[in-house]
């Protein structure tokens, strides 16, 4: 009893409870993970240290998977591409070691492989994304998140098909082939023409069908709503796209993609104030992704607040590897223009 009273103050909140447990047993992986969860937003670096401690100390596969998944997601939120890729791979390896007869093993495997595919896709590593997605398909081919991710891969194919179409038409125009000039004169609205072309592609029709099915099965899922938002934005249905971005954020407010996509949406439509607000919302969540800082800097630049913009842009572009990572993460807006903006800013 005296020991309990003496330690009572240490247990007034969960953080103190788990830190006290670690003092007694530093190899307690559960305590390290739970302590880290209380520090993710207030002290993310310390949280990362504790999760790494949990990874090293964990004796059970489930605990190792939880640690690897947390380190994967934290690295991705912070824009640490190499670490995110490494931990995504480790999470997949550990997930495949789960006893398939145990409850939740199949879902854990599917989550690990889909998350790895998603990260590779965000980094522009299309081949790796497809390989990891193929593994996820073998686990649950009709799962709504699997359908949603397939729709995003189809978007890449559709975009490539559009580029090819436009290139072929440009060649015919250059040769002055009959009929091409007259048609080009009618297509004065380039955006409308691209939306029309996109809608006619077989990849688009299949992707939208997959998303309809996925939304019926999982209307509140993060990945499903994010995929739907991106297709809506690509088809210039901006209001609908924003609606699905908001739904995705409600499902998981700690995933940085919704804040990035919302910034890109506002920047693409000329609403710099909206882009600034979206970036601020993400940064208020202590999301440290350099891509978010980059969007914030671009929004400030467009609003004429160059001195504020410069500090954020310089911070975002501090490490060359981050620049490549950021460029791969662009969706709607031309992010490379922000790098040029940063280079051209001169504050007296």
**Which residue, chain included where needed, has tokens 């595919």?**
117
Distance separating alpha carbons of residues 334 and 332, to the nearest angstrom: 7
110 with 143: CB under 8 angstroms?
yes
pLDDT, residue 30, reads 84
Q: State the DSSP code for 102.
A: S
Q: Which two tokens stand for residue 256?
A: 């940085």
Instruction: Give the number of residues written for the chain.
Output: 348
pLDDT, residue 292, reads 84
Instruction: Work out the burial of residue 1: count CB atoms within 10 Å of its CB; fewer than 13 is exposed, 13-18 middle, 19 or more buried.
Output: exposed
Distance separating alpha carbons of residues 193 and 200, to the nearest angstrom: 11
Q: Which two tokens stand for residue 128?
A: 């790796």
Displacement of CA 127 from its chain's centroid (Å): 18
pLDDT, residue 10, reads 44
**Which residue, chain included where needed, has tokens 């590779």?**
120
Distance separating alpha carbons of residues 133 and 117, to the nearest angstrom: 5
Of 89, 88, 83, 32, give the one whose Cα is nearest residue 56: 32
pLDDT, residue 174, reads 64
Residue-by-residue DSSP string for 127-196: HHHHHHHHHHHHH-TT-HHHHHHHHHHHHHHHHHHHHHHHHHHHHHHHHT-TTHHHHHHH---HHHHHHH
pLDDT, residue 212, reads 97
- Residues in the chain with pLDDT < 50? 1-12, 180-188, 319-324, 326-328, 330-348
pTM for the full predicted model: 0.77
pLDDT, residue 11, reads 41
């Amino acid at each position: 009893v005296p020991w309990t009273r003496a330690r009572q103050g240490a247990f007034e909140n969960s953080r103190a409870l788990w830190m006290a447990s670690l003092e007694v047993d530093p190899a307690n992986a559960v305590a390290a993970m739970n302590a880290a969860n209380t520090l993710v937003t207030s002290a993310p670096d310390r949280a990362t240290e504790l999760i790494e401690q949990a990874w090293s100390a964990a004796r059970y596969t489930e605990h190792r998977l939880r640690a690897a998944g947390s380190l994967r997601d934290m690295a991705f939120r912070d824009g640490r591409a190499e670490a995110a890729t490494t931990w995504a791979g480790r999470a997949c390896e550990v997930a495949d070691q789960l006893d398939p007869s145990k409850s939740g093993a199949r879902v854990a495997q599917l989550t690990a492989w889909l998350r790895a595919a998603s990260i590779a896709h965000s980094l522009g590593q299309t081949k790796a994304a497809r390989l990891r997605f193929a593994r996820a398909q073998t686990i649950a081919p009709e799962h709504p998140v699997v359908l949603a991710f397939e729709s995003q891969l189809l978007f890449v194919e559709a975009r490539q098909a559009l580029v090819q179409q436009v290139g072929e038409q440009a060649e015919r125009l250059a040769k002055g082939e009959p009929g091409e000039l007259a048609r080009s004169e009618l297509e004065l609205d380039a955006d409308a023409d691209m939306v029309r072309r996109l809608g006619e592609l077989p990849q688009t029709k299949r992707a939208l069908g997959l998303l309809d099915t996925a939304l019926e099965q999982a209307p509140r899922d993060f990945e499903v709503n994010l995929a739907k938002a991106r297709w809506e934005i690509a088809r210039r249905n901006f209001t609908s796209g924003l609606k699905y971005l908001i739904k995705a954020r409600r499902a998981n407010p700690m995933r940085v993609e919704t804040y990035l996509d919302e910034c890109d949406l506002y920047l693409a439509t000329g609403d710099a104030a909206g882009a600034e607000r979206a970036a601020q919302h993400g940064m208020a969540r202590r999301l440290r992704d350099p891509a978010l800082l980059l969007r914030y800097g671009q929004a400030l630049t467009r609003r004429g607040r160059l001195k504020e913009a410069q500090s954020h842009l310089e911070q975002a572009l501090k490490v060359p590897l981050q620049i490549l990572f950021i460029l791969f993460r662009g969706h709607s807006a031309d992010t490379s223009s922000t790098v040029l903006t940063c280079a051209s800013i001169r504050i007296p």
